Amino acid sequence: MTKSEKQTSTENRASLRTPITPRRQPAEYPMPLVIFDVSYLAHRAKWTTSPLQFNGKPTGVLYGVLNQVNRIRRLFPSNAALFFAWDSIFSLRREEFPDYKAARKKVVTPEELKMKEEFFQQMNLLRPRVLEPLGFRHHIERRGFEADDAIASAVEWGHQNPKIGKIWIISSDDDLFQLLDRATMYRPNHNRNYTMMDLFNEHGLSPQEWVMATAIAGTHNGLPGVCGVGLKTAAAYVIGQPVSPSKVRAIESAQRDGIVSRNLRFIQLPYKGARLVPYGTKPEPFRLDEEGLEDVCEEFGFNMREEEWA
């Protein structure tokens, strides 16, 4: 295959029709709330459909996120309110604690730099040029806050709203386990739900106890915990199971030094108790904007039919 043929093949892949999606579920009352972790979906797309392009421009992340949203939304009742939670580039947590997420892999090669640039180019287009034109109206984003904060705020809003019934979070981020007393997680990478009972069966903890255990053990976000204390030991300490005296002394010392309380500030959601969903927000089920779908398909080379979004 020649170089030009390969490029044409790559571009044509962006026009592949959306794979067969599940049959729509009947409406359910009160209205269910489904909250998408956009960053999570975008990073999944980054490693699956990122090579796709149209007219020489990358479209793989856009296509991958849109494809996931269309497939996943069909797993839930047809009248579900669909919310999208976004990360802010600026981080209030990092401003307070510069080492927050600092251990994450740095860009080291030209290929990685190119992939990163293309990823953020598409993220900047995803909301205004793809999701909103199609009819997805509910977006939660505020400068300084993460998608996790937006999700937690949406869960609290939904929990207090009499028009909202079951609440679902679309993500696999274990930082969100603390919300399982009010919501269920659907984990696309495992294609299964994750509930408060699953958390208890796996770790022996309640959502609130999970927060304390991770504050003691530290997290994947670069928050150092108690030296020599892992999650299993921290969980045992939190629920009152036997722990070696040396570990107990280390934990108590870290508590006196403010390490645990500092971690709690960063782990508890939403950060600083922020309310990111306006009180008067009116939930509405998704309704496809047919003209918007036509515009999106024309701009990005997607071949999607209206019936696939019914």
Sequence spans of domains, the chain: 8-14+21-197+270-309, 207-266
Phi–psi pair at 56, nearest 5 degrees: 80, 5
- List of E strands, the chain: 31-37, 53-54, 57-58, 81-85, 138-140, 164-170, 184-187, 192-194
Q: Is 235 exposed, middle or buried, given 0-12, 13-18 or 19+ CB atoms closer than 10 A?
A: buried
CATH code for the structural domain at 8-14+21-197+270-309: 3.40.50.1010
Q: Please give the Cα distance from 277 to 142 (Å, whole number).
A: 10
Q: Which among 293, 277, 282 is positioned nearest to 70, based on CA atoms?
A: 293
User: What was the pLDDT predicted at 101?
Assistant: 82
What token pair was written down for 157?
């809003």
8 Å CB contact between 168 and 184: yes
3-state DSSP assignment of residue 174: helix
What token pair was written down for 273?
């108790």
Q: Please give the Cα distance from 80 to 159 (Å, whole number).
A: 15
Give the Cβ contact number of residue 288 at 10 Å. 15
Q: What is the pLDDT along the chain (310 residues), one digit of tens a residue?
A: 444 444 433 443 444 344 444 566 888 889 999 999 999 999 999 999 988 999 999 999 999 999 999 999 999 999 999 999 999 999 999 999 888 887 666 667 888 889 999 999 999 999 999 999 999 999 999 999 999 999 999 999 999 999 999 999 999 999 999 999 999 999 999 999 999 999 999 999 999 999 999 999 999 888 999 999 999 999 999 999 999 999 999 999 999 999 999 999 999 999 999 999 988 899 999 999 999 999 999 999 999 989 888 7
Helix, strand, coil shares, percent, the chain, to 5: 50, 15, 40
Strand duo 81-85 + 138-140: pairing? parallel
What pTM, to 2 d.p., does this model score? 0.90
Q: Please give the Cα distance from 178 to 160 (Å, whole number).
A: 17
**Dihedral sign computed on CA atoms, order 131, 137, 143, 144:** negative
Give the Cβ contact number of residue 145 at 10 Å. 26
